[in-house]
């Protein structure tokens, strides 16, 4: 077994469980598809599955113990029974946080959370033992799971915090108890579940509720602090650190330039000048880097070394990763932004494509899936994106999804490539209209399934992954 993460007797006390205690665990799992030998398996029940159906499989794959809401015949020596499996996982996560003495960082925002988390992880790796949440584990289950997997001796741990309900960020922040909270930005993501963007801002600011006294709140300069947040900062001695592009902001982006080999960034952190290159394209990536530098400055780390780490950071799949492809004997470039989309991130991605002004002879093509979870604001936002595109140097736009019809109907005729209800229905038109040396950007909410287009194009020969 790998290094012991949890002892059985401790887990029973934490979860108020009943069962065997003479065991140790090296990890925590909620999914038998990825479970490792020595893991604790929490048999969570959800709307579409019940982990109790996979208890036998978990034990067969080497789980140290199973946390269940009922005894399991023939496996009594491998099962701890609790009243509520999810509550037990949350309790284990809370206990993990209490025993950890390292620096804890919580990242939230309407977009860029996962990228900032990954940037931070790669920046901190040379300065101590690190732990960070996998993928986009940013809800009650994901945060609790990530916390429960945190070794007790980490120096830096980074957690992503998401929301689609009132009070969710406050709840998660109180579990994480970060030393540093970061609000990367506030946009319209998940506005379907809220009355207005103002309410989304209010919810994001509630990350302050969990920040430890004497800690820090790092936030985009565009975020206005409300009275209650300001009062809580004063009461708990929490320092506000802003980043952005205004001259008066201590941590600011002075200049940004995108060129074929990457981006050149000129910034100042705490009024100290920093110049560096990044191979993660886009102005939004520059601001992500600025947020990371702001956190690292709080941690008193050498910023010139951090910029070297940022220079080597590669975008994550679906979040700016760029490919050169051979497609039907045509050389094309694809920028993959297919992981998710909201109005602000859509505009950022379009700006990334329009910033490529050094290829005068190349066409710029958008392939867009619909933006979801916008509720009653959906038509308004899709039309807004169309009007924004009409003012740019984008050559062609391909759209799929019923909500994208709002955007399509408001596009300039000369920019219309093709529209279809389903992404796969666009493929025939793409085959006809893609030319040699075109640059394509693919963007849409993950449930729009726009990634089908990327997968189709990727079936052709991949020349190289360039970022």
pTM: predicted TM-score of the whole model, two decimal places: 0.88
Structure confidence at residue 2 as a pLDDT band (50, 70, 90): low
CA dist 273 and 295 (Å) reads 16
CB 333 within 8 A of CB 353: no
Instruction: Give residue 422's pLDDT.
Output: 93
Give the SS3 label for residue 427. Answer: helix
3-state secondary structure of 175: helix
Q: Per residue in 266-304, pLDDT tens?
A: 999 998 999 999 988 888 899 999 999 999 999 999 999
Q: Which of helix, strand or coil describes residue 187?
A: coil
Model pLDDT for residues 189-198, shown as the tens digit of each residue: 666 666 677 8
Residue 241: strand, helix, or coil:
strand
pLDDT at 145: 97
User: Do 324 and 463 touch, CB atoms closer than 8 A?
Assistant: yes
Whether residue 346 has pLDDT greater than 60: yes
Q: How far are the Cα atoms of 8, 24, 40, 43, 366 from residue 79, in angstroms, in the given order?
A: 11, 13, 10, 10, 52
Averaged pLDDT for residues 71-79: 89
For the chain, the domains span: 6-88, 100-311, 321-465
Average of pLDDT values for 96-112?
95
State how far the Cα of 273 lies from the Cα of 283, in Å rounded to an integer.
18
Q: Which class in CATH covers the domain with range 6-88?
A: alpha beta
Instruction: Express each pLDDT in 176-192 by its tens digit.
Output: 999 999 999 887 666 66
pLDDT digits (tens, 9 = 90+) for 358-392: 666 789 999 999 998 888 899 999 999 999 999 99
> What does the pLDDT read at residue 127?
97
> In this predicted structure, what is the pLDDT of residue 358?
63
The answer to whether 426 touches 454, Cβ cutoff 8 Å, is no
CB of 256 closer than 8 Å to CB of 263: yes
Coil vs helix vs strand at 100: coil
Are the beta carbons of 142 and 133 closer than 8 angstroms?
Answer: yes
Residues with Cβ < 8 Å from 451, sequence gap 6 or more? Answer: 318, 338, 423, 442, 444
Per DSSP, helices labelled H in 16-139 are 55-60, 85-99, 113-124
Paired with 159 in beta bridges are: 106
Judge whether 130 and 104 are in contact, CB under 8 Å: no
| Phi, psi angles (nearest 5°) of residue 419 | -125, 145
Q: Which among 140, 110, 113, 154 has a CA at the least distance from the CA of 292?
A: 113
Model confidence at 463: pLDDT above 60: no
Q: Which of 58, 114, 34, 55 is nearest to 288 (CA)?
A: 114
Structure tokens, 145: 């799971």
CA dist 141 and 42 (Å) reads: 11
170 pLDDT tier (thresholds 50, 70, 90): very high
Helix (H) or strand (E) run with residue 176 in it: helix 168-176
Q: Angle, to 10 degrees, between the axis of helix 283-298 and the axis of helix 303-311?
A: 150
Domain 321-465 class, CATH top level: alpha beta
HSE value, Cβ hemisphere, 13 Å, CA-based, for 372: 14
Find, among 449, 403, 393, 447, the residue nearest to 426 by Cα. Answer: 449
Please report the pLDDT score of residue 226 as a whole number. 84
Residue 42 corresponds to which tokens in the numbers above?
């929490």
pLDDT of residue 240: 95
Q: Would you say domain 100-311 falls under CATH 3.30.200.20?
A: no
Tell me if 385 sits within 8 A of 407, measured CB to CB.
yes
What is the per-residue pLDDT for 455? 87
Mapped onto helix, strand or coil, the DSSP state of residue 254 is: strand
Q: 464: pLDDT confidence band, cut at 50, 70 and 90? A: very low
Q: Which pLDDT score is estimated for 259?
A: 75
Q: What percent of the chain has pLDDT over 70?
A: 95
Check residue 224 and give its pLDDT.
84
pLDDT at 352: 86
- Comparing CA positions, the residue from 352, 373, 374 lying closest to residue 364 is 352
Contact yes or no for 449/369 (Cβ under 8 A):
yes
Percent of the chain with pLDDT over 90: 66
How many other C-beta atoms lie within 10 A of the C-beta of residue 227?
Answer: 7
């Amino acid at each position: 077994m790998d290094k012991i993460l949890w002892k059985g007797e401790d887990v029973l006390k934490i979860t108020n469980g009943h069962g065997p205690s003479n065991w140790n665990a090296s990890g925590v799992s909620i999914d038998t598809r990825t479970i490792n030998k020595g893991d604790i398996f929490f048999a969570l029940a959800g709307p579409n599955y019940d982990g109790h159906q996979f208890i036998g499989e978990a034990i067969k794959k080497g789980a140290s113990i199973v946390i269940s809401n009922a005894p399991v015949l023939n496996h009594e020596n491998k099962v701890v029974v609790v009243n509520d499996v999810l509550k037990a996982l949350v309790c284990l996560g809370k206990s993990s946080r209490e025993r950890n003495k390292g620096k804890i960082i919580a990242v939230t925002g309407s977009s860029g959370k996962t990228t900032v988390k990954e940037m931070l992880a790669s920046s901190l790796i040379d300065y101590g033992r690190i732990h960070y949440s996998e993928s986009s584990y940013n809800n009650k289950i994901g945060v609790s799971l990530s916390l429960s997997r945190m070794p007790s001796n980490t120096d830096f741990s980074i957690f992503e915090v998401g929301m689609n309900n009132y009070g969710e960020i406050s709840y998660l922040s109180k579990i994480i108890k970060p030393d540093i909270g970061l609000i990367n930005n506030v946009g319209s993501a998940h506005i379907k579940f809220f009355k207005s963007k103002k309410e989304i801002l209010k919810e994001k600011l509630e990350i302050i509720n969990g920040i430890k006294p004497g800690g820090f709140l790092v936030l985009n300069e565009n975020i206005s602090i409300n009275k209650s947040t300001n009062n809580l900062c004063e009461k708990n001695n929490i320092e506000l650190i802003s980043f952005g592009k205004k001259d008066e902001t201590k941590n600011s982006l002075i200049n940004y330039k995108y060129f074929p080999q990457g981006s050149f960034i000129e910034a100042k952190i705490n009024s100290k000048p920093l110049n560096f290159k990044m191979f993660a394209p886009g102005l939004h990536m520059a601001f992500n880097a600025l947020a990371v530098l702001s956190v690292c400055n709080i941690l008193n780390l050498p910023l010139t070394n951090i910029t070297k780490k940022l220079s080597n950071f590669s975008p994550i799949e679906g979040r700016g990763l760029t490919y050169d492809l051979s497609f039907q004997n045509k050389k094309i470039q694809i920028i993959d932004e297919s992981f998710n989309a909201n109005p602000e991130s859509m505009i950022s991605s379009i700006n990334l494509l329009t910033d490529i002004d050094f290829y005068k002879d190349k066409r710029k093509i958008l392939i867009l899936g619909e933006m979801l979870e916008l509720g009653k604001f959906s038509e308004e936002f899709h039309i807004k994106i169309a009007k924004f595109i009409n003012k740019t140097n984008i050559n062609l736009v391909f759209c799929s999804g019923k909500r994208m019809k709002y955007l399509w109907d408001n596009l300039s005729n000369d920019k219309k490539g093709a529209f279809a209800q389903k992404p796969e229905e666009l493929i025939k038109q793409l085959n006809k209209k893609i030319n040699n040396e075109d640059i394509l950007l693919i963007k849409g909410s993950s449930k729009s399934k726009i990634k089908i287009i990327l997968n189709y194009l990727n079936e052709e020969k991949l020349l190289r992954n360039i970022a």
